[in-house]
């Protein structure tokens, strides 16, 4: 029934002798929250890099809204509404939160020259609204470098939303965050999905979080897709349990 926003077919990527992604095929339905799990080194971040043009893939096809992405650059892909966040936060320590928000905007607007102009009133309003949305309104004039790691993750999430993504890839959004902030972040993810209609593809180690958040989970091990299914089935899947126990 549901439309597919991202179609991944036979994607392989190696780094030297390491096959980080091997023949991966999966679909992301539009409007869904989909999870990606797997032991360390199983190729999850590589798959995000493959999707968003951070490195060329060796084989396969990645279609976003029907359009082949594999020859496009990251900025071009971002402009189409496909944005990723990173395992390590990418905020600008020496700028305040509002400035971080405004500087992330050109990703979608598409042009480095935008940086040289005064941001539009619309962008300023959007920045303030989104900082409020992630609970950072009171911190908006603090330097990003003075925020806690968890708050930086929230800021990074808000920066990603600044680009008005249709599909947002989140690489371990809750890693290193204290439990109180985790619950807040999970609520925000769900709200972004419901309120702004953003499709989410989320790498997450915390199984409790995944169980509550994702409608479907894909599991990587050794660069291969070994299982896909509903959270409760994945949790009890012998292949998944073995991958985690047998892994590093």
Binding residues vs ligand ADP (CB under 6 A): 15, 18, 20, 38, 40-46
**Residue 104 found at the interface with Mg ion (CB under 5 A):** no
Edge to edge, the sheet with strand 224-229 lists: 82-84, 167-171, 199-203, 33-37, 216-221, 224-229
β-pair partners for 68: 63
Report the C-alpha gap between 243 and 37 in whole angstroms.
Answer: 11
Contacted entry of Mg ion, ligand ADP, none for residue 15, CB cut-off 5 to 8 Å set by kind: ligand ADP
β-pair partners for 9: 61
Residue 190 Cβ vs ligand ADP, minimum distance, rounded to whole Å: 23
Residue 196 Cβ vs Mg ion, minimum distance, rounded to whole Å: 25
Residues 215 and 190: beta-carbon distance below 8 Å: no
Residue 50 Cβ vs ligand ADP, minimum distance, rounded to whole Å: 9
Q: Which is nearer to Mg ion, 139 or 206 (CB)?
A: 206
Return the half-sphere exposure (C-beta side, CA atoms, 13 A cut-off) of residue 231: 14
The binding track of 39-78 with respect to Mg ion, each residue x by CB under 5 A or -, is -----xx---------------------------------
Report the C-alpha gap between 119 and 63 in whole angstroms.
Answer: 32
Q: Which is nearer to ligand ADP, 38 or 106 (CB)?
A: 38
Residue 43 Cβ vs ligand ADP, minimum distance, rounded to whole Å: 4
Which residues of this protein are in contact with Mg ion, per CB under 5 A?
A: 44-45
């Amino acid at each position: 029934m549901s439309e597919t926003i991202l179609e991944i077919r036979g994607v392989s990527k190696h780094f030297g002798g390491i096959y980080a992604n091997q023949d991966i095929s999966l679909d992301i339905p539009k409007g869904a929250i989909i999870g990606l799990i797997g032991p360390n080194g199983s190729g999850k971040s590589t798959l995000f890099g493959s999707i968003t043009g951070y490195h060329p893939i060796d084989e396969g096809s990645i279609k976003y809204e029907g359009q082949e992405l594999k020859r496009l650059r990251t900025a071009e892909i971002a402009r189409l509404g496909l944005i990723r966040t990173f395992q390590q936060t990418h905020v600008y320590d020496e700028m305040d939160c509002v400035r971080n928000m405004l500087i992330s905007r050109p990703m979608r607007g598409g042009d480095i020259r935008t940086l040289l102009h005064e941001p539009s009133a619309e962008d300023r309003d959007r920045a303030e609204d989104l900082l409020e949305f992630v609970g950072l309104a009171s911190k908006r004039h603090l330097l990003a470098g003075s925020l806690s790691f968890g708050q930086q993750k929230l800021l990074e999430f808000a920066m990603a939303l600044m680009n008005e993504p249709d599909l947002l890839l989140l690489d371990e959004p809750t890693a290193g965050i204290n439990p109180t902030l985790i619950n807040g972040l999970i609520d925000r993810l769900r709200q972004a999905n419901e309120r702004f209609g953003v499709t989410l593809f989320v790498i997450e180690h915390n199984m409790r979080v995944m169980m509550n958040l994702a409608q479907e989970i894909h599991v990587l091990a050794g660069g291969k897709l070994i299982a896909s299914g509903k959270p409760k089935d994945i949790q009890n899947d012998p292949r998944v349990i073995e991958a985690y126990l047998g892994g590093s």
